[in-house]
């Protein structure tokens, strides 16, 4: 099977070479790596020129969601991965994905575990995740599916499912929730697959409030129960579900001997 990796980039020149090398390090020949760059001005282009195997789309866009959609539409692979320009795959990632999808043909999207690393690639923490759970996807305080470990079967895009470009900080949460609501199946691979780089300029660091607001907006858009309620009852119900989801995740992680955040 052919794997397409999509990376949206804007002024990530200090990180993107490690990202590219982590894809090459999978030692898998049937792949393409598409970089969608928003006309970076920090030397990114010089890095990209050193890797002629890349497919580069360099043009202005309306944000990360639109850039990723361009890449998803240009992809020719059977399986499509979403790798941010400051993140990296770990050795054996592609192998684990190919084996999981071959053994579980009814599943449409797979995700694995990841490590948090700092700006220099030093380990901060290991994040072991749980099998897919719709209740936790909806109501947990964080998106518990590590996007940098996600691989998607092509049919999801062929059937017209793309990121909502109105979301800039929680586009992954909205996308996964929408896919789950439409009946697509998720599978968790219990293996470390990628490094998520945590640094002061990442969206997770600088836009936490905006991310939370967009997450709540997406939840309300896709949750028929909450839509029927008015505040303050809606807020009470939302907070109650959040506490239950947190408790469920903590119990399951203790039971499975995993770490939690």
Q: Which residue has the tokens 């836009």?
A: 207
- pTM, rounded to two decimals: 0.92
57-66, 86-95, 131-140: lowest mean pLDDT where? 57-66
* Radius of gyration in angstroms for the set of CA atoms belonging to the chain, rounded to a whole number: 18
Distance, C-alpha 148 to centroid of its chain:
4
131-135, 205-209, 244-248: lowest mean pLDDT where? 205-209
If DSSP codes are grouped into helix, strand and coil, which group holds residue 251? helix
Select from 142, 25, 23, 12 the least CA-distant residue to 67. Answer: 12
Q: What is the pLDDT of residue 199?
A: 66
β-bridge mates for residue 219, sequence order: none
Q: Phi, psi at residue 109, to the nearest 5°?
A: -145, 135
Q: Give burial (CB, 10 Å; 0-12/13-18/19+) of 195.
A: buried
- Determine which helix (DSSP H) or strand (DSSP E) holds 156, and give its type and residue range: helix 154-158
Residues in the chain: 261
DSSP label at 180? H
Q: What is the mean pLDDT of the chain?
A: 92
Q: What is the pLDDT of residue 72?
A: 97
Whether pLDDT at 204 is above 70? no
Burial 7-36 (b: 16+ CB within 10 A, else e): bbbbbbbebbbbbbebbebbebeebbbbbb
Name the pLDDT band for 208 (thresholds 50, 70, 90): confident
Select from 246, 244, 248, 239 the least CA-distant residue to 261. Answer: 246
DSSP label at 76? -
* Cα→Cα distances 41→11, 21, 24, 67, 191, Å: 6, 21, 25, 17, 36
Please state, in angstroms and rounded to a whole number, the distance separating the CA atoms of residues 226 and 168. 23
| Structure tokens, 182 | 């439409």
Q: What is the pLDDT of residue 211?
A: 87
DSSP label at 90? P
Please state, in angstroms and rounded to a whole number, the distance separating the CA atoms of residues 261 and 243. 14
Q: What is the pLDDT of residue 259?
A: 56
Q: Phi, psi at residue 146, to the nearest 5°?
A: -70, 110
Fold (CATH) for 3-256: Spore Coat Polysaccharide Biosynthesis Protein SpsA; Chain A (3.90.550)
If DSSP codes are grouped into helix, strand and coil, which group holds residue 213? helix
- Determine which helix (DSSP H) or strand (DSSP E) holds 209, and give its type and residue range: helix 208-222
Please state, in angstroms and rounded to a whole number, the distance separating the CA atoms of residues 224 and 138. 12
The answer to whether residues 179 and 161 touch, using CB atoms and an 8 Å cutoff, is yes
Select from 30, 128, 140 the least CA-distant residue to 78. Answer: 30
Mean pLDDT of 31-46: 93
């Amino acid at each position: 099977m052919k794997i397409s990796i999509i990376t949206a980039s804007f002024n990530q020149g200090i990180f993107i070479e490690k990202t590219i090398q982590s894809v090459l390090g999978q030692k898998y020949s049937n792949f393409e790596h598409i970089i969608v760059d928003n006309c970076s001005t920090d030397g990114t282009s010089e890095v990209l020129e050193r890797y002629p195997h890349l497919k580069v789309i360099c043009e202005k866009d309306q944000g990360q969601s639109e850039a990723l959609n361009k890449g998803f539409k240009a992809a020719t692979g059977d399986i499509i991965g979403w790798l941010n320009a400051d993140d990296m795959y770990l050795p054996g990632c592609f192998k684990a994905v190919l084996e999981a999808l071959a053994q579980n043909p009814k599943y449409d999207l797979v995700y694995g575990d990841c490590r948090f690393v700092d700006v220099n690639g030093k380990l901060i923490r290991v994040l072991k995740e749980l099998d897919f759970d719709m209740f936790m996807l909806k109501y947990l305080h964080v998106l518990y599916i590590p996007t940098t470990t996600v691989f998607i079967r092509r049919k999801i895009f062929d059937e017209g499912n793309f990121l909502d470009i109105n979301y800039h900080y929680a586009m992954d949460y909205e996308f996964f929730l929408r896919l789950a609501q439409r009946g697509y199946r998720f599978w968790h691979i219990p293996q470390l697959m990628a490094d998520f780089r945590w640094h002061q300029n990442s969206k997770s660091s600088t836009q936490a409030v905006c991310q939370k607001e967009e997450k709540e907006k997406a939840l309300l858009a896709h949750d028929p129960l909450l839509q029927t309620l008015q505040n303050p009852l809606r807020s009470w119900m939302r907070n109650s579900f959040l506490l239950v989801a947190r408790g469920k995740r903590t119990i399951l992680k203790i039971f499975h001997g995993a770490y939690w955040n």
